[in-house]
Amino acid sequence: MPNEQGRHTRAIHAGFDPEEHRGAVSVPIYQSSTFAFPSAEEGAARFAGRSSGLIYTRLGNPTVQALEECVAALENGCGAVATATGMGAVSTVLLALLRHGDHVVSTRPVYGATHRLIENRLSRLGVSSTFIPSTANPSEWKRALRHETRLIFIETPANPTLDLVDIAEASAIAHAAGIPLVVDNTFAGPHLQRPLELGADIVVHSMTKSLNGHSDVIAGIVVTRERPVLQAVRETASTFGMTIDPHQAWLVLRGIRTLGMRVERAQANAMALAQWLEQHPQVAWLRYPGLRSHPQHDLATRQMSGPGSIIAFELRGGADAGRMMMNAMTLITLAVSLGGVDSLIEHPASMTHTGLTESEQRADGVTPGLVRLAVGCEDFEDLRTDLDQALQRCEVVSALSDAR
């Protein structure tokens, strides 16, 4: 698929040729565990790697291949490996590139499960780690690097604080050290941010989020710049059984066809809500990359095509007011996840990042009162009305908090 084509066009057409599927205009679901060989010689050739024919769905499937080619085109990578979950994508990359005695540098905050995997699980395999703030300056990056450092892992925008990492700068630091930069691009997605174009080597996604966009699939994907890395990732995913099934893949492909429309609609809602919330008397502070009040607004403008649909904020009444507000929602759903057509709200300190200690949460900027709002595609006025009625219930809590 030529990269000159627009993002909407690629989301609809990339990775799919109807002629290869009997003229079908939607990728068929190849719901088969195994594939027949035309001869014993061809079967042997496929297992030996001399033929690209299909063998077994864990190793490759036409529906899955269409999804991989589509997302690789969206990210401008050389190829992709789809996995059963977003954490499957993160785990596959780390298992493919790290071994006993290695060291990884990661920014913080990152998704809670990613933090636990790097710090607690990899350590059992003899891999050490160092976490630095997402907003660290180059000297802090360089101090974190060791002789045995084998990769840098970043997440930008970061979950849930919306801190940003300068991808081009992080890439330059990684490459000067001779190691790859891995970017979790889940919050922005390829419609709004393409890390490989900024120098990153590997991109991971939870396709559960905006790529699928309908809160009905769990999936992940890894996209790489170079084929040797892609091959290492693919071998690891198939060996550990991380690969996706064809029905999941088909559902994600169907979601991607409306990616741009959904993302732009949700983003427009998020911008309007962020502007309204920032002026609300019950809101103590708010973080959204599309507002000039975000300390890294200029970086967001430089490396992203848009600020996305996630808002982080805290009420003047703190955690108690936040819980009261979330419990009062009637339209916006109290649930984790993001990137879907439906708006979701959650409390990171007691939900998505509950696996971190209080001190780790403080270090990551996950305050007790932080609320994460993942804005969807509903009508703006309905979303604002729901937030407004819920915030009105928090006035008493806020007043008591101010009195203390």
Confidence of residue 396 (pLDDT cuts 50, 70, 90): low
> In this model, does residue 234 exceed pLDDT 70?
yes
Mean pLDDT, the chain, integer: 93
Domains (range + CATH), the chain: 7-256 (3.40.640.10), 260-403 (3.90.1150.10)
| Rounded-to-integer distance, Cα 296 and Cα 225, Å | 27
The 10 Å CB-count burial string (b at 16+, else e) for 298-336 is ebbeebbbbbbbbbbbbbbbbbbbbbbbbebbebbbeee
Its pTM stands at 0.93
Q: What was the pLDDT predicted at 361?
A: 77
- Residues of the chain above pLDDT 90, percent: 81
Catalytic machinery residues: 58, 111, 184, 209
Q: What was the pLDDT predicted at 1?
A: 39
The pLDDT tens digits of the residues spanning 133-157 come to 999 998 999 999 999 999 999 999 9
Q: What was the pLDDT predicted at 397?
A: 60
The pLDDT tens digits of the residues spanning 184-229 come to 999 999 999 999 999 999 999 999 999 999 999 999 999 999 999 9
Confidence of residue 3 (pLDDT cuts 50, 70, 90): low
Question: What are 38's two structure tokens?
Answer: 């035309």
Range 339-362 average pLDDT: 84
Q: What is the dihedral of CA 316, 321, 326, 328, to 10 degrees?
A: -120
Q: What was the pLDDT predicted at 2?
A: 45
> In this model, does residue 232 exceed pLDDT 70?
yes
If we measure between CA atoms, which residue out of 294, 327, 331 comes closest to residue 310? 294
